[in-house]
Amino acid sequence: MKLEMKDTPGQLVSVLGPISKCGGNIIAVIHQRDPESESDTLDVQIVLDLPAGRLPALIGQIKALGVDILRIGEERLLHKRSLIMIGHIMHTDISDTVDQIDRTGFAEVSELSLMMPAINERSSARITIKTANRIDMESAVSILREVAGRKELLVVEPLEEWT
Protein backbone atom coordinates (compact mmCIF):
# COMPACT_ATOMS: atom_id res chain seq x y z
CA MET A 1 0.00 0.00 0.00
CA LYS A 2 1.07 3.56 -0.60
CA LEU A 3 0.26 6.07 2.13
CA GLU A 4 0.49 9.82 2.51
CA MET A 5 1.09 10.93 6.05
CA LYS A 6 2.17 13.96 8.02
CA ASP A 7 5.94 14.35 8.15
CA THR A 8 6.09 14.39 11.94
CA PRO A 9 8.02 12.26 14.42
CA GLY A 10 6.19 9.04 15.32
CA GLN A 11 3.72 9.10 12.42
CA LEU A 12 5.25 6.10 10.65
CA VAL A 13 5.41 4.06 13.85
CA SER A 14 1.74 4.80 14.55
CA VAL A 15 0.79 3.31 11.14
CA LEU A 16 2.86 0.16 11.64
CA GLY A 17 0.98 -0.72 14.85
CA PRO A 18 -2.39 -1.46 13.18
CA ILE A 19 -0.69 -3.70 10.63
CA SER A 20 0.65 -5.85 13.44
CA LYS A 21 -2.70 -5.82 15.27
CA CYS A 22 -4.43 -7.09 12.11
CA GLY A 23 -1.99 -9.99 11.87
CA GLY A 24 0.05 -8.46 9.07
CA ASN A 25 3.67 -9.21 8.33
CA ILE A 26 5.64 -6.18 7.19
CA ILE A 27 8.00 -7.12 4.37
CA ALA A 28 9.36 -3.66 3.50
CA VAL A 29 8.86 -0.01 4.33
CA ILE A 30 10.04 2.41 1.68
CA HIS A 31 10.18 6.14 2.14
CA GLN A 32 12.60 8.83 1.26
CA ARG A 33 12.44 12.03 3.21
CA ASP A 34 13.61 15.05 1.26
CA PRO A 35 15.06 17.48 3.81
CA GLU A 36 14.70 20.33 1.29
CA SER A 37 11.00 19.69 0.69
CA GLU A 38 8.63 22.26 2.10
CA SER A 39 5.73 19.81 2.11
CA ASP A 40 4.38 18.72 5.46
CA THR A 41 3.46 15.28 4.07
CA LEU A 42 5.47 12.20 3.21
CA ASP A 43 4.69 9.28 0.87
CA VAL A 44 5.43 5.86 2.31
CA GLN A 45 5.11 2.50 0.61
CA ILE A 46 4.54 -0.53 2.79
CA VAL A 47 4.82 -4.02 1.40
CA LEU A 48 2.99 -6.44 3.63
CA ASP A 49 1.41 -9.84 3.84
CA LEU A 50 -2.03 -9.74 5.44
CA PRO A 51 -4.34 -12.66 6.29
CA ALA A 52 -7.46 -12.89 4.14
CA GLY A 53 -10.38 -10.77 5.26
CA ARG A 54 -8.40 -8.38 7.45
CA LEU A 55 -7.87 -5.59 4.92
CA PRO A 56 -11.10 -3.67 5.71
CA ALA A 57 -10.19 -3.50 9.41
CA LEU A 58 -6.69 -2.33 8.58
CA ILE A 59 -7.97 0.38 6.24
CA GLY A 60 -10.32 1.65 8.95
CA GLN A 61 -7.56 1.78 11.54
CA ILE A 62 -5.16 3.60 9.23
CA LYS A 63 -7.77 6.14 8.15
CA ALA A 64 -8.66 6.73 11.80
CA LEU A 65 -5.07 7.91 12.29
CA GLY A 66 -5.62 10.63 9.68
CA VAL A 67 -3.40 8.91 7.12
CA ASP A 68 -4.46 8.97 3.46
CA ILE A 69 -4.28 5.69 1.55
CA LEU A 70 -3.13 6.48 -1.99
CA ARG A 71 -3.02 2.91 -3.32
CA ILE A 72 -3.82 -0.59 -2.16
CA GLY A 73 -3.35 -3.66 -4.22
CA GLU A 74 -1.68 -6.82 -5.20
CA GLU A 75 1.65 -6.74 -6.99
CA ARG A 76 1.11 -4.17 -9.72
CA LEU A 77 4.62 -4.06 -11.10
CA LEU A 78 4.93 -7.22 -13.15
CA HIS A 79 7.80 -6.38 -15.51
CA LYS A 80 11.33 -6.52 -14.14
CA ARG A 81 14.66 -5.57 -15.69
CA SER A 82 18.16 -5.51 -14.20
CA LEU A 83 21.02 -3.34 -15.39
CA ILE A 84 24.55 -2.53 -14.22
CA MET A 85 25.87 0.96 -13.61
CA ILE A 86 29.61 1.62 -13.44
CA GLY A 87 31.27 4.82 -12.31
CA HIS A 88 31.40 7.08 -9.29
CA ILE A 89 27.93 6.02 -8.19
CA MET A 90 28.05 7.21 -4.59
CA HIS A 91 29.78 10.49 -5.43
CA THR A 92 27.02 11.26 -7.97
CA ASP A 93 24.22 10.65 -5.44
CA ILE A 94 22.69 7.19 -5.92
CA SER A 95 19.67 8.34 -3.93
CA ASP A 96 18.93 10.95 -6.61
CA THR A 97 19.38 8.38 -9.37
CA VAL A 98 16.86 6.03 -7.73
CA ASP A 99 14.48 8.91 -7.04
CA GLN A 100 14.48 9.93 -10.71
CA ILE A 101 12.86 6.55 -11.47
CA ASP A 102 10.71 6.15 -8.36
CA ARG A 103 9.02 9.52 -8.66
CA THR A 104 7.67 8.73 -12.14
CA GLY A 105 4.74 6.92 -10.55
CA PHE A 106 4.96 4.16 -13.15
CA ALA A 107 8.29 2.59 -12.25
CA GLU A 108 10.18 1.67 -9.10
CA VAL A 109 13.66 0.54 -8.24
CA SER A 110 13.01 -2.76 -6.47
CA GLU A 111 16.59 -3.89 -5.86
CA LEU A 112 19.95 -2.19 -5.63
CA SER A 113 23.30 -3.89 -4.95
CA LEU A 114 26.43 -1.78 -4.75
CA MET A 115 30.09 -2.81 -4.91
CA MET A 116 32.69 -0.25 -3.86
CA PRO A 117 36.32 -1.38 -4.16
CA ALA A 118 37.79 1.83 -2.67
CA ILE A 119 36.55 5.30 -1.85
CA ASN A 120 38.12 6.98 -4.88
CA GLU A 121 37.67 4.07 -7.29
CA ARG A 122 34.77 3.44 -9.59
CA SER A 123 31.96 1.42 -8.12
CA SER A 124 29.36 -0.78 -9.74
CA ALA A 125 25.72 -1.29 -8.94
CA ARG A 126 23.12 -3.78 -10.06
CA ILE A 127 19.80 -1.96 -10.28
CA THR A 128 16.47 -3.72 -10.83
CA ILE A 129 13.50 -1.75 -12.08
CA LYS A 130 9.87 -2.89 -11.98
CA THR A 131 7.00 -1.51 -14.05
CA ALA A 132 3.44 -2.45 -14.90
CA ASN A 133 4.07 -2.82 -18.66
CA ARG A 134 6.78 -2.86 -21.32
CA ILE A 135 6.18 0.71 -22.50
CA ASP A 136 6.71 2.03 -18.97
CA MET A 137 9.85 -0.11 -18.71
CA GLU A 138 11.32 1.47 -21.81
CA SER A 139 10.53 4.93 -20.40
CA ALA A 140 12.12 4.06 -17.04
CA VAL A 141 15.27 2.69 -18.69
CA SER A 142 15.45 5.83 -20.85
CA ILE A 143 15.32 7.94 -17.70
CA LEU A 144 18.11 5.85 -16.17
CA ARG A 145 20.23 6.23 -19.32
CA GLU A 146 19.71 10.00 -19.34
CA VAL A 147 20.53 10.39 -15.63
CA ALA A 148 23.57 8.12 -16.01
CA GLY A 149 24.75 10.14 -19.00
CA ARG A 150 24.60 13.38 -17.00
CA LYS A 151 26.49 11.73 -14.14
CA GLU A 152 29.04 10.08 -16.44
CA LEU A 153 27.98 6.57 -15.44
CA LEU A 154 28.12 3.62 -17.81
CA VAL A 155 24.91 1.57 -18.08
CA VAL A 156 25.24 -2.07 -19.15
CA GLU A 157 21.98 -3.74 -20.19
CA PRO A 158 20.21 -6.10 -20.07
CA LEU A 159 21.49 -8.65 -17.63
CA GLU A 160 18.71 -11.08 -18.46
CA GLU A 161 15.64 -11.34 -20.57
CA TRP A 162 13.15 -9.19 -18.75
CA THR A 163 9.60 -10.13 -18.03
Q: pLDDT class for 83, splitting at 50, 70, 90?
A: very high
Q: pLDDT class for 22, splitting at 50, 70, 90?
A: very high
Using CA atoms, how far apart are residues 19 and 35, in angstroms rounded to an integer?
27
Q: Where in the chain is the domain with CATH 3.30.70.260?
A: 2-71
* Per CATH, domain 2-71 is 3.40.50.10540: no
What is the model's pLDDT at position 77? 60
Phi, psi of 161, deg, nearest 5: -65, 130
Identify whether the C-beta of residue 130 lies closer than 8 Å to the C-beta of residue 80.
yes
pTM of the model: 0.54
Kindly compute the dihedral angle of the four CA atoms of residues 44, 140, 153, 30, in this order, to the nearest 10 degrees: 10
Q: What is the CATH number of domain 79-156?
A: 3.30.70.2690
For residue 32, is pLDDT > 80? no
For residue 24, is pLDDT > 70? yes
Proportion of the chain above pLDDT 90, given as a percent: 41
- Left (φ > 0), alpha (ψ -120 to 50) or beta: where does 108 sit? beta
Using CA atoms, how far apart are residues 156 and 42, in angstroms rounded to an integer?
33
Residue (of 132, 126, 134) closest to 155 by Cα position: 126
Using CA atoms, how far apart are residues 163 and 156, in angstroms rounded to an integer?
18
Beta strands in 64-122 (DSSP E): 68-71, 79-87, 107-115
Q: Where in the chain is the domain with CATH 3.30.70.2690?
A: 79-156
